[in-house]
Amino acid sequence: MAQLWGGRFAKETDKLVYDFNASITYDKRFLKQDVRGSIAHVTMLSSVDIISNEEKDLIIKTLNEIVEDVEAGKLEITTKYEDVHSFVEANLIDRIGDTGKKLHTGRSRNDQVALDMRLYIRDEINEIKGDIKTLMQELLVLMKDNLDTVMPGFTHMQKAQPVTFAHHIGAYFEMFKRDFERLTDIYERMNYCPLGSGALAGTTYPLDRELTARLLGFKGPTLNSMDSVSDRDYIIELLSALSVIMMHLSRFSEEIITWNSNEYQFIELDDGYSTGSSIMPQKKNPDIAELVRGKTGRVYGALTTMLTVMKGIPLAYNKDIQEDKEMTFDAIDTVKNCITLFTGMISTMRINRPRMKDSAAGGFTNATDAADYLVNHGVAFRDAHGIIGRLVLRCIELGVSLDELSLEEYKNISPVFEEDIYKAISIEECVSKRNTIGAPGPESMKDVISKNETYLNNM
């Protein structure tokens, strides 16, 4: 055990206690961020003459060597150390002795870990934003390729009105746009540097916190040292944003699973993204989509965990806060994996256009358009609604669609109908006429696609 404390203790820590208390097995993940923070800290310490220029240079050089050695597999981060901060400091002192002992001047592990976690989360936010952008690029390709792919739009899982596949995919594009922007907002709000807050009450050294913040790319230093060491709001915000991303991916997965089912056959997932059954030779299952849907639970779990961990914590730092890491890391890994796999899955799936169109043609998805036909011929909408309702009933009796019903039958219910009703309710026409902003008509979709293209180029 290589601890940073022990002077006031008369006894060794019990092994079980030591293990329970240690965080090295998971906080070793932010070794690089920890070293980056230390480099900024000593740079600042030398600029205010707390350590000499030579000491600063030697510390920075050695810190970089420690990272290189870990990366090259020459130095192992083991459970001999309580946490990553102890690992770095102990190795630094091993290598350069007394000069290494100056690194922690004016710093506590409380503001150090608060900094590391922020640096780590900032980096991850940027990575997740990159993954979302790749997914959105793929969605835009699908939209461009399917402007004329007519499919039924649903409400209550009942066929409602015809839309296009481009339009349906466009709905998810909007969701991921909001997800991207949420991450940007969180980044902006959390982008203040806690280092220099000490254990909780600042320090008596003349630390230049503005300089440290600038060196680490923050907008400035945080303004209350007690809040700085115990604030984990940004993690809760991140987990909340990640939960929403997963909720979107899960809804999308649910649709993929439905569309890929034997009954729908709107799409077929690629063999590379499907799995088989050990007993049923015919099976080709959408396991990836199902796993994405399932993994949503663990990300929600991380959010609930953090909200619960934080709810009873008095100011300032308490060890409970160490519980901010494992679930957060797991949620980040899960979301990144899910976005990447999901992107691969949808970019390789086959779209069954005839099947989608046939499905849109059944289920009276053009009934609203038939009512609109009457309205265009002077009938009040409420009356038109009733007339078409009776027509639908008649179609059900005869076992035909509105397109297949004879003009005579139409005229029996309302004399307003003429031969041109068939064109007015043709599925293509029903979609192509819908050109209000945000509607599925190809004209309005083209406009939206060009706006989204600009959006993507500025992301």
Residues belonging to the active site: 156, 277
Which range of residues in 128-136, 147-155, 167-175, 316-324 is near ligand ARG by CB under 6 A? 316-324
- Residue 149's nearest CA partner among 299, 385, 393, 359 is 359
Scan residues 242-271 and list those touching ligand ARG (CB under 6 A): none
161 within 8 A of 365, measured Cβ to Cβ: yes
Q: Could you tell me the smallest distance in angstroms from the CB atom of residue 222 to ligand ARG?
A: 17
Q: Could you tell me the smallest distance in angstroms from the CB atom of residue 317 to ligand ARG?
A: 6
∠ CA 180-185-190, rounded to 5°: 130
With binding defined as CB under 6 A, does residue 322 bind ligand ARG?
Answer: yes
With binding defined as CB under 6 A, does residue 318 bind ligand ARG?
Answer: no
Q: Could you tell me the smallest distance in angstroms from the CB atom of residue 319 to ligand ARG?
A: 6
- Which residue from 31, 50, 66, 113 is in contact with ligand ARG, where contact means CB under 6 A? 113
- Residue 19's nearest CA partner among 76, 80, 73, 64 is 80
The residue sitting closest to ligand ARG, measured at its beta carbon, is 322
- Which residue from 3, 91, 99, 110 is in contact with ligand ARG, where contact means CB under 6 A? 110
In the numeric block, which tokens belong to residue 43? Answer: 């740079």
Report the residue number, 267 or 321, with the smaller CB distance to ligand ARG: 321
Q: CA-to-CA distance for 241 and 373, rounded, in angstroms?
A: 45
Q: Could you tell me the smallest distance in angstroms from the CB atom of residue 74 to ligand ARG?
A: 25
Which range of residues in 43-51, 92-100, 105-113, 164-172 is near ligand ARG by CB under 6 A? 105-113
Report the residue number, 226 or 413, with the smaller CB distance to ligand ARG: 226
Q: Chain-centre distance of CA 438, in angstroms? A: 24
Q: Is 265 left (phi over 0), alpha (psi -120 to 50) or beta?
A: left
252 within 8 A of 222, measured Cβ to Cβ: no
Which range of residues in 33-41, 45-53, 109-117, 409-417 is near ligand ARG by CB under 6 A? 109-117
Q: Could you tell me the smallest distance in angstroms from the CB atom of residue 325 to ligand ARG?
A: 6
Q: CA-to-CA distance for 353 and 327, rounded, in angstroms?
A: 42
DSSP letter string, 383-402: HHHHHHHHHHHHHHHHT--T
Residue 159 has a CB neighbour count (10 Å cut-off) of: 19
Q: Under the rule (CB under 6 A), what is the footprint of ligand ARG?
A: 23, 27, 83, 109-110, 113, 317, 319, 321-322
